[in-house]
Structure 1
Amino acid sequence: MGETMTQEEEQILERNSNTDTVVESPGGPNFILELNLFLTMIGITLSSTALSNIMLYRACVHSLHHSAEECHPFLSPERTNSTKHLEVDVQKYVTYVGTVKEIFEYLGPAILCLFLGVWSDTHGRKPLIVWPLFGITLSAMLAVVYSMMDSLGPWWTIVLSAPTTLTGGISVMVIGMYCCLSDMTNKKSMSFRMMSLEIAVALGTVIGSLVCSPLLKSIGNVYVLLIAASVYVLAYSVTNIWLQESLATAIPGTLASVFNFSLIKMMITDCFKRRPDYLRTQLFVLTAASSLSTLIIYGVTGLQYMYARQKLHWALKDFNQFSAINVILAFIGSSLVVVVFQRIFKVNDLTVSTMSFASAAGDFAIRTFAVASWQMYLAACVASFSGLSSPLIRSFLVKILPSEDMAKVFALMGAIGGIMPLLAPPLYNSLYYNTISSFPGAVMLLSSCINASCIIMLLVVVYLRWKSKRVINFEPANSFNNDHEE
């Protein structure tokens, strides 16, 4: 066993000591990555909405013991007043179930992220994309079976998450995509490549939101889940067949090679090593800001529909219409910001990321105190480029750090970001549970404050970069002794 471990470590060290050889495939892999994300987001949008309706209904019937006739309106995309007296109790119970489900669902990815970034330096990026998608597809198939078995209560939804959590889910898949882009893309084009992934996410979410309500109304939750599973099967098939490995030197790996603790040691050693110009501090601060934005995403996403039902009395079709318009505005706003500010005026990634956090803070502040539908749409306008922060932070890191460290850096960000889905449900769901009757906007206010703290973090990085340049400019070259090295 010790000899095997030594051979594995030697392979990793040899892989890291050489310059990476990448597969030259202009446009092909990038297009497949975008298509993968596009189809995956359609599936997520369709399945999450349908499964949310089923969970509300099953909690009402099986857990709170109301009659099937009384609870049946929860299955409909149309909001009626007939469930008004049940709404708070059902939402509280579903929030509790959802918290346990999400913790279980993201525990596996949080652990796998510690290993797979460095593992992919030797064994390739494609497994990090294909295997999580396979797990998501299996979970979608189980969701179809669950939806057809009316005797199963809401707690059975936790079982549906098992394939996803064991294969890494979205967290690991995103690490694989970012590493793949880092292999294939030069630093000058990195911001655009990151945006291309965001565009795919936006388009998939818009289409999923627009077709979800009509499909639910015409064919019901079960068939919508079946369509979602079919979309996942298509995404997996296309990716597995046509996506090329970005590392020509990749060698096949086994399951045993994944859980090699020397991988964690190498990641920590490379990410925590001393760097000049305060780069280590910048890395940690930017990772923290990116992780906090992930915390918000996982905390708010599962509550937005219930918040809109409770605060504004929206039906599912109202929420899906808002979601679609929100994503369209985000797509237009993000595209304009990248083209106008970055391509024309040459504004750097860090500045645009700061603007993005400010946009998100304003969005959640307006949602906190919204009492009418138009105010939610105003918030969507303010948030038109709020989704740029994380991809541009990663783009910025690619430009300031050595290319051989990027897989380890992305793994670190993925590992810390992987903890956020474990923290978000207890934090956000418990806050919503305790304030749903008095101040349901508390979760939105918390999100606004977190975004404001991220702005401060990015300003710290701006100061460190100014300070390092100032030291370099005022120190004679022959007397430079890395005093500003950490």
Structure 2
Amino acid sequence: MFVGKTFNPTIQKRSSEKGDSDVTVSDETTPLITPTTETKFSSKSENWLSVVTIEPIIFLQMFAIHLVQIISLNQFIDRICRVTMELPEDACANLTRNVESEEITSDVKIQVDGLASRFLMYRAVIESVTQIVISLFLGSWSDKHGRKILFVICASGYIVTSGLNVLLTYLPNLAPEYLLLASIPVAVTGGYTVLLLTSFSYIASVSTAKNRSVRYAFLEMSVYLGNPAGTFMGALIYKGSGFAGVYITEVGVLLMALIYAIVRIPDDSHRIKDSGNFCTELFNTAALKETFVSVFKKRENSKRMWIVLFILSLCLSMLTRFGPNNCMFLFTRFMFGWNEQEHSMLNTVDGILTMVGILLLSFGGLKLLKLEDSVAGLIASCGCLASNLVVAFVPGHTAASWLMYLAITFQMFGGMVSVPIRSMLSKIASGDELGKIFTFVACAQSIVPIFAGIMYSFIFISTEMQFPGAFSLLSAGFNFLIASTFAYCYFTRKKKPVLENIY
């Protein structure tokens, strides 16, 4: 199996290209960083389970995040209805379940949905701004001090946030603004941004150039498996135990992730002996400068252009992934009268199809058929484009709701959009630059939710009555640009020497 070669430590080859002698070129059997700690932990076994390290952490944290995603939106709707608008409790209960009642008119629904969408936008801003600042310094710092501690800190932040959510649940008369306080611990510990940065940097450091795409596919599978599982279980727990039951379950799942990170992830902080003071090294402005230099410095064979193009494509991919999260539930409520159970079922099927798509395209496409990374990315992005168009123009009545399932079928390969991009990025850059480049990527992607939340929420609020699917048309435009990048990469690979080495 492919994992048999992943941990055979060999000596990295140095590029002899003129003017590019500082670049380390990984051959197809060489890890970018010799993974001695992981090798010891895995007993050098051929069994694929021996190389499973961070994937369970990602699954558990994604499960926890999506466990409360729709439920937290329902909590905003409930607080807005009861506290802000001072409507009867029975009427508000019907509103959260999307059940018709005399007190809840269509105008009231639109007003509540608009306020809820704004609160989601505020939460995105709170969680993203500090993450940008923190993650700017973490790339080069983690290259020196290891990545285990970042997994631990990230999980701890989510645990504190979920604990605050439990507390706020038992204070039902507080205004919806107070619910935003729970976002602060996640914001100051890095949240999703640091989780992504650490995960992809870790995989890049312990995998070979040949097998990196498949390792990234495993990581994406963990993300997409956690999404439907968490969404589905969240709806079930909410139906039986309410908001408190969901948030208490989230605490338990996150504690499992924290314990696993402490026990299972190898401690590689000793990699560099004299790495300096923790805080001094963390807020090292020279390292921050190195991060930007690594991305934008002039390189031979148009490497800088391709690095920037790939980073832009990753950001657009994040826009299409996270932007609709702020309005898709509200969209299905408005178009088809769905409640959280029906929407959760759609998300569950979407996650299962995405996992199947990742398996088919990674093992069937990349491994067996030897598809180039750019071809795999083109297939995935074109499927997402078709899905966006279906959602944009779906008729607004219950009988047409099956088209939402057609849309998620089209985008079943969507989980593979970012995999080939990250793989190609890691093959262009040298091993000692990866932490810095992935830091820049993570920072850029942490800015994306802010703009995505504002952009998609504003579009949905502005067009809900005239063209509810307008936000999906925006996603279609972004996916067209991503597909164009993959197509350009494929058709110019023979003319660009740098591209011949990234497949």
Q: Relative to 1, partners in 2 of residues 1:20 and 1:327: Cα closer, same or farther, differing over 3 Å?
A: closer
Structure 2: which amino acid aligns with 1:174? L
Mean Cα displacement is larger for which, 224-233 or 392-401? 392-401
1:80 aligned to 2:102? no
Q: Which residue of the partner structure matches residue 141 of structure 2?
A: 119
Distance 1:188 1:158, change over 3 A: same
CA contact (8 A) 1:277 1:465 kept: no
Cα gap change, 1:237 to 1:74, in 2 (>3 Å): farther
Q: 1:471 to 1:381 in 2, by over 3 A?
A: closer
- Determine if contact 1:21/1:247 at 8 Å carries over to the other structure: no
1:255 & 1:249 partners in 2: Cα distance?
A: 18
The question of 1:286 aligning with 2:305 is answered no
Match of 2:362 among 324, 331, 338: 338
Distance 2:156 2:237 in 1: 25
Identify the match of residue 462 of structure 1 among 475, 483, 490. Answer: 490
Change (3 A) 1:338 1:471: closer
Q: Cα offset for 1:341?
A: 1.6
* SS in structure 2 of the partner of residue 188 of structure 1: coil
CA offset at residue 471 of structure 1? 12
Q: What is aligned with 1:397?
A: 425
The aligned residue for residue 204 of structure 1 is 226
Match of 1:150 among 172, 187, 199: 172
User: Conserved in 2, the CA contact under 8 Å of 1:353 and 1:388?
Assistant: yes
Q: Give the superposition deviation at 1:252.
A: 7.2
- The change in CA–CA distance for 1:93 and 1:265 in structure 2 (over 3 A counts) is same
What residue is the counterpart of 2:197 in the other structure? 175
1:329 aligns with 2:348: no
Shift in Å, 1:384:
0.7
Q: Does 1:166 align with 2:166?
A: no
C-alpha distance in structure 2 between counterparts of 1:471 and 1:443, whole Å: 34
Cα 1:403–1:471 shift into 2, 3 Å: closer
CA 1:132–1:301: 2 relative to 1, 3 Å? same
Task: Please tell me whether the aligned partners of residues 295 and 304 of structure 2 are also in contact (alpha carbons under 8 angstroms).
Answer: yes
Partner of 1:386: 414
1:106-151 C-alpha deviation (Å, 9 max, x unpaired): 1111112211111111111122222111111111111111111012
Of the three residues 34, 42, 49, the one matched with 2:55 is: 34
- State the partner residue of 1:443: 471
> Who is 2:15 aligned against?
none
C-alpha deviation, 1:28, in angstroms: 7.3
Q: How does 1:91-110 map to 2 (within 5 A)?
A: 91-110=113-132
Task: Measure the CA separation in 1 of the matches of 2:347 and 2:499.
Answer: 48
Shift of 1:407: 1.1
In 2, Cα distance between the equivalents of 1:470 and 1:390? Answer: 20
- 1:256 is displaced (CA, Å) by 3.7
Q: What is the CA deviation profile of residues 168-203 of structure 1, one whole-angstrom value per residue up to 9, with x for unaligned ones?
A: 001111111111111211111111111111111222
Q: Percent identity?
A: 23
Q: Give 3-state SS (helix, strand or coil) of 2:355's partner.
A: helix
8 Å contact from structure 1 (residues 21, 248) kept in 2 = no
Q: Is the 8 A contact 2:154 2:195 kept in 1?
A: yes
How far residue 67 of structure 1 moved from its aligned partner, in angstroms, is: 2.2
Contact 2:117 2:457 in 1 (8 A): yes
Report the secondary structure of 1:187's partner residue.
coil
What letter corresponds to residue 197 of structure 2 in structure 1? Answer: I
2:68–2:231 Cα contact (<8 Å) kept:
no
Task: Give the CA RMSD over aligned residues.
Answer: 2.2
Once residues 465 and 253 of structure 1 are traced to their aligned partners in structure 2, the CA distance between those partners, rounded to angstroms, is 45
Match of 1:428 among 428, 433, 456: 456
CA distance in 2, matches of 1:365, 1:295: 16
SS in structure 2 of the partner of residue 66 of structure 1: coil
Question: Would you say the 8 A contact 2:229–2:348 is kept in 1?
Answer: yes
Q: Is the 8 A contact 1:114 1:412 kept in 2?
A: yes
Residue 59 in 1 paired to residue 87 in 2? no
In 2, the alpha carbon distance for the partners of 1:199 and 1:470 equals: 29
Correspondence for 1:260: 284
Tell me the equivalent position of 2:210. 188
Query: Is 1:368 equivalent to 2:423 in the alignment?
Result: no
Distance (Å, rounded) in 1 between the aligned partners of 2:496 and 2:387:
34
Q: Which residue of 2 aligns with 1:269?
A: 293
Seen in structure 2, the aligned counterparts of structure 1 residues 35 and 252 have a Cα distance that, compared at 3 Å, is: farther
Report if aligned partners of 1:364, 1:444 keep a CA contact under 8 Å in 2. Answer: yes
Q: Does 1:46 align with 2:67?
A: yes
Secondary structure at 2:495 match in 1:
helix
Deviating more after overlay: 214-223 vs 453-462? 453-462
Quickly say closer, same or farther: Cα 1:471–1:33, change in 2 above 3 A: closer
Any conservation in 2 of the 1:286–1:458 contact (CA below 8 Å)? no
Give TM-score, length-normalised by structure 1.
0.89
**What displacement does 1:409 show?**
1.3
Q: How big is the shift at 1:270? A: 2.0
The reply on whether 1:302 has 2:321 as its aligned counterpart is no
TM-score, normalised via structure 2 length: 0.86
Following TM superposition, by how much is the alpha carbon of 1:247 offset from its aligned partner in structure 2, in angstroms? 5.9
Aligned length: 454
